[in-house]
Structure 1
Amino acid sequence: MTAVQDNITGHDEYLRVLEAIQTGALQLLAGFPQQPSALRVQVGEVTIEAEWQVSGAPVAPAPAPVETGVAQDDPPIGAVFRAPSVGVFYRSPEPGADPFVQVGDPVTAGQQIAIVEAMKLMIPVTAQTSGVITGILVEDNEPVQFDQSLFSYSPE
């Protein structure tokens, strides 16, 4: 191999390692009940630290539903499915595709109902319990916060 090929191979490996760290960190952060203000990841001799501002205020209430099975004046009925991470909310698996779910659709626990994209990582939004979607609380392709309400549903 030439020095250029070695450099490219090393760079590709470096990017794969960073992507693996990013994936693990986002999965770890998604599991916290409240968003932490710092993260330190150490693998062997490499340590990565990140800190960010977390507002002391609770997450703002979700905007009025985009789509509901009831009149616009009525609030969404039932429990909610929440964002697993900060990112951009997508209702469908790719542009132009049908949404994962619509108002009135039944869902089962573990079923994917949306995607949140964070730093080019697609994080599935899954139903935590079975039920029927009663409202979509966020516009497609809109930024969302960790734990923000995305869908309202009526449990089965």
Structure 2
Amino acid sequence: MTALDENAVAPRDTGHEDYLRVLEAIQTGALQLLAGFPQQPSALRFQVGEVTVEAEWQATAPAPTPATTAAVPVESVAAPDSPALGAVVRAPSVGVFYRCPEPGADPFVEVGDRVQAGQQIAIVEAMKLMIPVTAQTGGVVTGILKEDNEPVQFDEPLFSYSPE
């Protein structure tokens, strides 16, 4: 056996790499497209090469009319981005909220943690697509508004924070 034979690299499975590249392209495109919508679409279809991914979301229930709304003291409800709640980080998609990078791991952040702009602080899973939730600006986490593994709606507040 020569030195060249010992250092030879096994041939790569290019089909597998191509598949991963296509999935990455779909994920990147989906995140960019969803970020550009003023509200969550009801359906989305991507096609990259021969791979097609389709996703549909149930329409969110319409807001209740004033006649069917129960009386709630104003002090007990804080409007999003209100002084009582502070700034919020919102869900980028309909899906399932995860505070940890994987089961059994420590959460990305806890109340009181200082975060930087762009730092990943959670995950929303939609159709097996893991969408990172990131801090828009630097600040301190003041509240975690959803439980781990809880379903969330598009644009729903997930964290409150005090921006710096």
TM-score over 0.5 for the alignment?
yes
Which residue does 2:27 correspond to in 1? 23
One-letter amino acid of the structure 2 residue matched with residue 124 of structure 1: P
User: Relative to 1, partners in 2 of residues 1:127 and 1:118: Cα closer, same or farther, differing over 3 Å?
Assistant: same
Match of 2:106 among 93, 98, 101: 98
Match of 1:147 among 144, 155, 158: 155
Indicate if the aligned counterparts of 1:35 and 1:54 stay in contact, CA closer than 8 A.
no
Q: Which moved more, 1:40-49 or 1:76-85?
A: 40-49
User: Relative to 1, partners in 2 of residues 1:21 and 1:53: Cα closer, same or farther, differing over 3 Å?
Assistant: farther
- Summarize deviations over 1:78-125 as a string: whole Å, max 9, x none: 110011111111101111111111001111100010011111121110
Indicate if the aligned counterparts of 2:55 and 2:127 stay in contact, CA closer than 8 A.
no
TM-score under structure 2 normalisation? 0.64
1:141 Cα shift?
Answer: 0.6
Percent of paired sites with the same residue: 72
- Report the 3-state secondary structure (helix = DSSP H, G, I; strand = E; otherwise coil) of the residue aligned with 1:122: strand
Gaps (5+ residues) in structure 1?
Answer: 1-8, 59-72
Which residue does 1:63 correspond to in 2? none
TM-score under structure 1 normalisation? 0.67
Match of 2:118 among 106, 110, 117: 110
Gaps (5+ residues) in structure 2?
Answer: 1-13, 64-75, 79-83
Which residue does 1:132 correspond to in 2? 140
1:77 Cα shift?
Answer: 2.8
One-letter amino acid of the structure 2 residue matched with residue 143 of structure 1: P
Which gives a bigger RCO, structure 1 or 2 (Cα 8 Å, sep 6+)? Answer: 1
